[in-house]
Structure 1
Amino acid sequence: MESTTSRQRWLARASLASATASVLVLAVFAGLRTIALVGVGLAGTAITAAAVWWALTRRRLARALAVLLAVAAPVWVLVTYTGAHLAWVVIVAAALWLLAVAAGRRALAPADRALAMPERPAPPVRHPVLIMNPRSGGGKVERFRLREKAAELGAQVLLLEGPGPIDVAELARKAAAEGADLLGVAGGDGTQALVAEVAAGLDLPFLVVPAGTRNHFALDLGLDREDPSLALDALRDGVELRVDLGLAGGRTFVNNVSFGAYAEVVQSPAYRDGKTRTTLDLLPDLLVGHKGARLTARAGDTTFTGPQALLVSNNPYGTGDIAGLGRRARLDGGELGAVGVDVTSAAQAAGLLRGGRATGLTTATVTTVVVDADRPSIPAGVDGEALTLPVPVRCEIRPRALRVLVPRHRPGLRPTRPPLDWRRLSRLGLLSTGRGG
């Protein structure tokens, strides 16, 4: 214990020293030009963010010019630094700052590990049934021979193929009625959520095979998204996690449910065939034309009034993540994360770079979110699947409702990392004595 505490203190001191050195490098070698140096960098960042906003809210020539500006701004910053013979100063200062952040996180790592989801011994499984979507992720089921590998491990495989639509939840319920003691899915997050709801209702373990496109649920479970076949190792050497599930209007979600601009985009029939193109075509009207329902939402003491987009997640995303693209620290915290975005200008778009402190952003961490609108029903994207839900939509958390079977050794597993706390780091590095913690 003593050596661990001593190591923490020295890492904290190294972090503080490196951060100080980063500032000194700018001050000593750039002198008074440091202010201009920082100003150019901040200006370039703000211009880039504003240009991205214009690119999202304009069409045709205006969009092309905005994209050009978004590329030109960083180039201008680089040329300015190079012309002033300050590029090497910036590189050295940035390297020292990155070292400070890395050492600081390592210094606080023991406390971070306490945030990891607890693992339990895996239950004995005799009749696992895996539902696989051969079309997900551009054909990952076939490319990684998931069907064959699952069969080799004693699993029964049900393929989602046929002349018409298949009721995935009903297929899972039928498999359980016929004796399945584990249900699993090789597919996208939307399909995962459908079967997870059945598994949770029957108290059966659930296996996630990341064969979809994003596989965000698998990411936060620590699974390897590059090789989905590795998730099947849970059948021979696995552990069990207890994770939360979200509910939106009675519909289960494993990641998030979105309302407003993104949900309107997902509703488009063209979205499945061309996601990027459809999104770019529809966003201008949704963001600046105020088309679609006017939303209001209540999340504890926080009220969201008329947000352009509202994201409700199964456990909150990191404080700097405004789009649900990053990682969640854990999936068993028993809370929903709510993020409302209301951006009407390029200045507010640039302000989103401040993360949770941005003026166009409202966040809350609660157990219930109630979404209302000026019409009887609203579009929603539930784990990326397009639905229409009657209002008010009540979003709730089901704490530790799902038993998830995962491999004991997960290549994607890494310690959860809350935001770096410089006050705590300073106390650890400067105020600690040579004993204990």
Structure 2
Amino acid sequence: MGVVLEERDHAAQRWAARGSLGAAVLAVVLPVVTAGVGSLLLVGAGLLGAVVTAAALWWVLTRRGVVRAAAAVLAVGSPVGVIVLFHAAQLLWVVVVSLVLWSVAVWAGKTALSSTRSHHVRVTEYETPAPERAFFLMNPRSGGGKVERFGLREKAERLGARVHLLDPERPEPEDVAALAREAVANGADLLGVAGGDGTQALVAAVAAEHDIPFLVVSAGTRNHFALDLGLDRDDPSTCLDALADGVELRVDLGFAGEHPFVNNASFGAYAAVVQSPAYRDDKVGTTLELLPDLLTGQRGPQLTARAQDAVIEAPQALLISNNPYRMDDPAGLGRRERLESGVLGVLGIKVESAAEAAGLLLGRHATGLTVLTAREVLVDADRPQIDVGVDGEALVLPTPVRCRIEPGALRVRVPRDRPGVPEAKPPLDWRRLRKLAATVGRTALPKGRARGAGTPR
């Protein structure tokens, strides 16, 4: 029976692969059959529109005044012009149908390939006793007031935890690391945070230092760390279920100098922008005012990053992440497939012209983009101090800044029953798809299984 079900699964994979290849062929053939030589003009016009739009966006970010306004018009007008051109040639429907077919091809192809992977990345879960003296720090303003809206304090206290509400009215912010250390000194056997990623990182470092569990409550605005842990971001109160019925994960912890981060540390343009006093009240206006000087090198430090044998010279933006972010799928951007790989993700961007900005359309193959992993990254500059954004918190650190990762340093307690991290789709490999589509019957089964389990030769 098991072999029959497995054969059905493999049959579905084969048909998904065939459907993917068929949709891809139709996406290419339809414009050729419908438009003939005009199909080449379709492709050329589309590519030209994309290049012009990317270049115009670069001018928007690096210019001011009339030039910026004209570039903004061009950035909007270019794709609109391409659409009008297709419509005038009565070929717009061809473009729409071809894009739909191509989307189906990509979806079906990745579905087929993801089912054939030899193994899936799964984080090991550890059974540990429930905490007896849990301590939580909760920010009542985080996430627009989620602490009160979801009754987080009340639920935590019902489950036996002690809760300290941070006071947002204090002239000086409370030292959350000091509060966490005091709680540990008083016998806390778990530290939890309902707040932003910056607060989580500081308390997580204290938990790692004392080798006690850390519990994340997804009460922040973005909740990137909670997302990658597979927690429920829609209802943060479910995170507290881990107090009664939870398991532990061992995940990595990043450091920029001596400052911990659970997500990332950013250097360059973004780090400089968030340092501005005006940024909090006017994010868009402040960014547009500062970026021209930052991106053209008239303001800010000149960075150099060294990671193993690689050197990234003068990037305008540099992101060091606690485990690498996904780069192979637009739907997965901003997510990490793993939190325990033991390596930092490194993403450097260096763009000096509109042409290089257009080249970013090539993704990770663009000349202005550096993507790699390393256990340690040394970030230096032509000045003694640089701006750094550590999990969204604006800091000024002495150079050079040593970024490192501590593998498995953090014990994270999570609910046994949680949504989980969405399974990552593999990169599209047309050669593998063709082989899968061409298989017949049980030849699609893995080696050693084609004859059936236990069947004699």
Same-fold call, TM > 0.5? yes
Q: 2:204 aligns with which of 186, 193, 196?
A: 196
After TM superposition, the structure 1 = structure 2 runs for residues 359-398 of structure 1, keeping only pairs within 5 Å, are 359-398=367-406
The residue matched to 1:380 in structure 2 has which SS? Answer: strand
- How many angstroms apart in 2 are the aligned matches of 1:274 and 1:365? 34
Instruction: Compute the TM-score of the two structures, normalised by the length of structure 2.
Output: 0.90
- Report if the CA contact (8 A) 1:169-1:198 is conserved: yes
When structure 1 is superposed on structure 2, of 351-360 and 116-125 the one drifting more is 116-125
One-letter code of the match for 2:243?
L
Classify 1:282/1:221 alpha carbon distance in 2 versus 1 (closer, same or farther; 3 Å). Answer: same
Whether 2:300 is the aligned partner of 1:300: answer: no
**Residue 273 of structure 2 corresponds to which residue in structure 1?**
265
Offset at residue 412 of structure 1 (A): 5.8
Whether 2:205 is the aligned partner of 1:215: answer: no
Q: 1:115 aligns with which of 106, 117, 121?
A: 121
Classify 1:226/1:42 alpha carbon distance in 2 versus 1 (closer, same or farther; 3 Å). Answer: farther
Whether 2:17 is the aligned partner of 1:12: answer: yes
Classify 1:37/1:260 alpha carbon distance in 2 versus 1 (closer, same or farther; 3 Å). Answer: same
Classify 1:255/1:224 alpha carbon distance in 2 versus 1 (closer, same or farther; 3 Å). Answer: same
Q: 2:69 aligns with which of 60, 64, 67?
A: 64
The residue matched to 2:291 in structure 1 has which SS? Answer: helix
**Residue 151 of structure 1 corresponds to which residue in structure 2?**
157
Offset at residue 188 of structure 1 (A): 0.9
Q: 1:92 aligns with which of 59, 75, 97?
A: 97
Write out the 4+ residue segments of structure 1 that deviate beyond 6 Å after TM superposition: none
**Residue 453 of structure 2 corresponds to which residue in structure 1?**
none
When structure 1 is superposed on structure 2, of 185-194 and 312-321 the one drifting more is 312-321
- How many angstroms apart in 2 are the aligned matches of 1:100 and 1:58? 40
One-letter code of the match for 2:266?
S
The residue matched to 1:108 in structure 2 has which SS? Answer: helix
One-letter code of the match for 2:391?
D
Q: Give the gaps of 5 or more residues in structure 1.
A: none
Report which of the two structures shows the higher radius of gyration computed on alpha carbons. Answer: 2
Classify 1:220/1:102 alpha carbon distance in 2 versus 1 (closer, same or farther; 3 Å). Answer: same
Whether 2:82 is the aligned partner of 1:77: answer: yes
- How many angstroms apart in 2 are the aligned matches of 1:321 and 1:380? 28
- How many angstroms apart in 1 are the aligned matches of 2:118 and 2:244? 29
- How many angstroms apart in 2 are the aligned matches of 1:168 and 1:4? 51
**Residue 359 of structure 2 corresponds to which residue in structure 1?**
351
One-letter code of the match for 1:332?
E
**Residue 42 of structure 1 corresponds to which residue in structure 2?**
47
Offset at residue 212 of structure 1 (A): 2.0
Q: Deviations over 1:402-434 (max 9, x none)?
A: 121223333363112242232332332235763
Classify 1:28/1:312 alpha carbon distance in 2 versus 1 (closer, same or farther; 3 Å). Answer: same
- How many angstroms apart in 1 are the aligned matches of 2:407 and 2:16? 36
- How many angstroms apart in 1 are the aligned matches of 2:413 and 2:283? 32
Offset at residue 227 of structure 1 (A): 3.0
One-letter code of the match for 1:374?
D
- Report if the CA contact (8 A) 1:115-1:416 is conserved: no
Instruction: Compute the TM-score of the two structures, normalised by the length of structure 1.
Output: 0.93
One-letter code of the match for 1:350?
A
**Residue 335 of structure 1 corresponds to which residue in structure 2?**
343
Whether 2:414 is the aligned partner of 1:409: answer: no
The residue matched to 1:343 in structure 2 has which SS? Answer: coil
- How many angstroms apart in 2 are the aligned matches of 1:132 and 1:108? 43
Offset at residue 14 of structure 1 (A): 1.8
Q: Deviations over 1:293-323 (max 9, x none)?
A: 111111112111111111111111122589x
The residue matched to 2:160 in structure 1 has which SS? Answer: coil
- Report if the CA contact (8 A) 1:318-1:418 is conserved: no
- Report if the CA contact (8 A) 1:329-1:417 is conserved: no
Offset at residue 132 of structure 1 (A): 0.8
- Report if the CA contact (8 A) 1:185-1:195 is conserved: yes
When structure 1 is superposed on structure 2, of 363-372 and 425-434 the one drifting more is 425-434
**Residue 181 of structure 2 corresponds to which residue in structure 1?**
173
**Residue 36 of structure 2 corresponds to which residue in structure 1?**
31
- How many angstroms apart in 2 are the aligned matches of 1:421 and 1:123? 44
When structure 1 is superposed on structure 2, of 346-355 and 406-415 the one drifting more is 406-415
Q: Deviations over 1:59-78 (max 9, x none)?
A: 24333332222222222122
When structure 1 is superposed on structure 2, of 20-29 and 250-259 the one drifting more is 20-29
Aligned residues: 436
User: What percentage of residue pairs aligned between the two structures are identical?
Assistant: 61
